[in-house]
Amino acid sequence: MEGTVHLNSVLTFPSNARTRAPFKPRSAAKGTSSYQLRQFAEATLGSGSLRKAVKLPEGEDLNEWLAVNVVDFYNQINLLYGSITEFCSPQSCPEMKATDEFEYLWQDSENYKRPTKMSAPEYIEHLMSWVQSNVDNEQMFPSRLGVPFPKSFSSLVRQIFKRLYRVYAHIYCHHYPVVVHLGLEPHLNTSFKHYILFIDEHRLATGKDYYGPLGDLVDSMIRSD
């Protein structure tokens, strides 16, 4: 877990049909708040201090900081999962599980109004589409300066982080040997530690949504920082 790697700038994975293109940067023009926040995040990640990287920059808007990081974590997880999707199929992973104790069922407000059992790749495809549709929704993730975030933004962000955690959990519990074989272990560990420290800093999850099947790993990452 030593060292800090910014996944979005250094990793190159084989192309895969399940890997989505990264989001377009939020208000990425120089001089905008989002651009400055992104530059701050990249600089602090490169400095080797993950605990510093997750803190809200002084004088900046918390919701904007959360929005920028949602997009970055989405892209990191897409890259990591995209590198192992050939090993994650409906045949090899017929259920979206971490350990046997933790199976995840998909539910949304449109097509799956009741918790629905799915294979891991199908679940993750629905999850990534759901995150992207929310970020693309100007009412939920306004990209123009001066447009306020909705009152429901905080609860949506918590739900996004809760669900993205499940992809890390599935990778660690079912595909870790492949990750090691591909030489991606440092990148996975750095990304997950960054994710956990961000959740911890901004109190975005509690209980099993935060620890869950990776409780010991979460504890060790928090203690080691």
HEC per residue, 9-37: HHCCCCCCCCCCCCCCCCCCCCCCHHHHH
Could you read off the pLDDT of 93-111 as tens digits, one per residue?
999 999 888 999 999 988 9
* Tokens at 198, concatenated: 């961000």
Q: Are 221 and 196 in contact (CB under 8 A)?
A: yes
CATH topology assigned to domain 7-13+21-90+129-224: Butyryl-CoA Dehydrogenase, subunit A; domain 3 (1.20.140)
Residue with tokens 């060292």: 3
* Tokens at 110, concatenated: 């449109």
Cα–Cα distance measured from residue 160 to residue 70, given in angstroms and rounded to the nearest whole number:
8
What pTM was estimated for this model as a whole? 0.79
Of residues 123 and 49, which shows the higher confidence score?
A: 123
List 103's β-bridge partners, or say none. Answer: 97
Residue ranges of domains in the chain: 7-13+21-90+129-224
pLDDT at 47 over 80: no
By CB atoms closer than 10 A (0-12, 13-18, 19+), residue 78 is: buried
* pLDDT band at residue 122 using 50, 70 and 90 as cut-offs: very high
Could you read off the pLDDT of 184-203 as tens digits, one per residue?
898 898 899 999 999 999 99
* 187 alpha carbon, distance to own chain's centre: 13
- What confidence score (pLDDT) does residue 196 get? 93
- What confidence score (pLDDT) does residue 2 get? 35
* Tokens at 79, concatenated: 């890259």
Known binding-site positions? 88, 93, 170, 175
Cα–Cα distance measured from residue 40 to residue 47, given in angstroms and rounded to the nearest whole number:
11
* pLDDT band at residue 74 using 50, 70 and 90 as cut-offs: very high
Known binding-site positions for Zn(2+)? 88, 93, 170, 175
Q: What percentage of the chain reaches a pLDDT higher than 90? A: 54
